[in-house]
Amino acid sequence: MKFRNRKLIAGVAGVGLIALAGLTGCASAAPASSQPTLDPDEEASITFTFWGNDVRAELYNEAIAAFEEQHPNIDVSVLFLSPNDYWEKRQIEASGGGLPDVVTMDLAYIRQYSQSGSLLDLEPYLGSIIQTDPIEPSVLGAGVVDGVTTAVPISTNAWSMFMNTTILDEIGVEPFAGGTWDDYYEWVAEVTDAAQAAGVPDVWGGVDPSSRFVNFEMQLRAEGKDLFDDEGNPGFDEERLTEYWEQGAAAREGGKFVPQQRVAEVQPLTAFDAGLGASDTQTDNFLAGYLANLGEGNEVTLQAPPLSVDGAKDLYLKASQMYSIAANSEHPAAAATLIDFLINSPESGEIFGTNRGLPASATAREAADLDPVSQDIVDYEASIADRLGDAPPAPIVGYGSLHEKFRELTEELNFGTLTVDQAVEQFFAEMDVVLNQ
């Protein structure tokens, strides 16, 4: 058994950003053996990288020490970076075919790295070295690109609706009782009118829901479609996007949403955690941050977002972080063993708690000491079980730029500087560039 001081190195990417289009990883990952196993006597040195801060680094320090105590033949070298520097460094490594053995992966990047051949096919390791029984099958699907599993989820979150019940009690309006998106738009207008009538300044029912790209995705999923399929084909046309943005036109023009100028003034806070809006949609893991920013005396509840199609499976458990193995790893079995420990072990669940998000593994989640906020999230995700469907295909290459364009256009809609038709035309022009680059 080995004992030594460990230092996690906080690296800084010091060169310019290299486009992922230029990655030169191997064309395809070499096939692994059908039943890979770990040789407990073979010495292996592997590298592992993640993004985070000093708090997370200390947790990984503890977890890696526990792993090495159980596996004295495996030496793990760790590199961590701030979120802003992390992907720049990974792109540089991938362009030279030199990714770390175990890479903490994000849903937004998995397709890019998978299609470049930079990641190993994990299928032979699932159920053999990496235990998958504790993870919901629908969650595991998030790591599949073009039919190949290249990542395993660490943690999950789900799309939700937040209600500031303190504001609602003050103006005498009940929280949204559920219903269709049209019902929700009517409720938002009711809250705004009630706040004005009660003489409560600077309070509205919420921000324009159509500003959220994910709300559009949820509506499409309720109709049995995805934003984009595995081939990158959109599940909507100009008419459907026009319909989506027109849903909020009356409330937008009637001043029922938080004004865009006020939204801009309180940044980097959102309108919700600045106390301007009584409701908002966002992933459930925002709960702790919202409560902290709103301050003592404010109560916030979580509930399912509106649904306009009865019985639809619009929601899904989203993988907030994942682990992948580099295609060029010389010790894939050792790398897979580390992944299994960091995802599934009770030790990992006890050490990390919800620092990386709500553990995707039931084994780790049961070992985690959940605070009341985390328990609220667990309860919420249990409450939406009947609306949970399979994870959508991994985001297309360029999804981030489309997400940002969508936000910019809805901002202009709310400033009144664009019409819906103009916004739709501009979005499809941007989408054409992204899909054909």
C-alpha torsion angle, residues 299, 315, 269, 255 (rounded to 10): -90
Looking at the chain, the whole-number percentage of residues with pLDDT higher than 90 is: 73
How far, in Å, CA of 109 to CA of 399, rounded? 9
Phi, psi of 277, deg, nearest 5: -115, 140
* Alpha carbons 91 and 95: distance in angstroms, whole number: 6
Report pLDDT digits (tens) over 21-41: 334 333 334 344 467 888 888
- pLDDT of 16 higher than 70: no
**What integer pLDDT is reported at residue 34 of this predicted model?**
62
Average pLDDT over residues 312-323: 94
From the number of C-beta atoms within 10 Å of its C-beta (0-12, 13-18, 19+), residue 245 rates as: buried
Residue 322 pLDDT greater than 90, yes or no:
yes
pLDDT of residue 91: 86
Residue 23 pLDDT: 42
Q: Is the pLDDT of residue 275 over 70?
A: yes
Are 391 and 158 in contact by the 8 Å Cβ rule? The answer is no
Q: What is the mean pLDDT of residues 301-330?
A: 95
Mean pLDDT across the stretch 64-73? 97
pLDDT band at 83 (very low <50, low <70, confident <90, very high): confident
Residues 6+ apart with CB under 8 A from 110: 119, 143, 145, 150, 151, 322, 324, 394, 395
pLDDT at 3: 26
pLDDT of residue 273: 92
**What is residue 391's predicted lDDT score, i.e. its pLDDT?**
87
Could you report the per-residue pLDDT of 190-204, keeping only the tens digit for each?
A: 999 999 999 998 999
pLDDT number for residue 98: 86
CA Rg value for the chain: 23
* pLDDT tens digits, 224-266: 999 999 889 999 999 999 999 999 999 999 999 999 999 999 9
Token digits for 69?
Answer: 């105590």
One-letter amino acid identity for 275?
A: G
Mean pLDDT of 1-8: 32
Alpha carbon 252 to chain centroid distance?
28
pLDDT at 41: 82
Per-residue pLDDT tens over the stretch 351-401: 999 888 889 999 999 999 988 998 999 999 999 999 999 889 889 988 988
Predicted confidence band at 173 (pLDDT cuts at 50, 70, 90)?
A: very high
Chain segment 128-163, per-residue pLDDT in tens: 999 999 998 888 989 999 999 999 999 999 999 999
pLDDT recorded at residue 137: 87
Cβ–Cβ under 8 Å, residues 111 and 394: yes
Give the tokens for residue 208. Answer: 């324009």
HEC readout, the chain: CCCCCCCCEECCCCCCCCCHHHCCCCCCCCCCCCCCCCCCCCCEEEEEEEECCHHHHHHHHHHHHHHHHHCCCEEEEEEEECHHHHHHHHHHHHHCCCCCCEEEECCCCHHHHHHCCCECCCHHHECCCECCCCECHHHHHHHEECCEECCEEEEEECEEEEEEHHHHHHHCCCCCCCCCHHHHHHHHHHHHHHHHHCCCCCCECCCCHHHCHHHHHHHHHHCCCCCECCCCCECCCHHHHHHHHHHCHHHHHCCCCCCHHHHHHCCCCCCCCCCCECEEEEEHHHHHHHHHHHCCCCCEEEECCCCCCCCCCCECCEEEEEEEEECCCCCHHHHHHHHHHHHHCHHHHHHHCCCCCEECEHHHHHHCCCCHHHHHHHHHHHHCHHHECCCCCCCCCCHHHHHHHHHHHHHHHHHCCCCHHHHHHHHHHHHHHHHCC
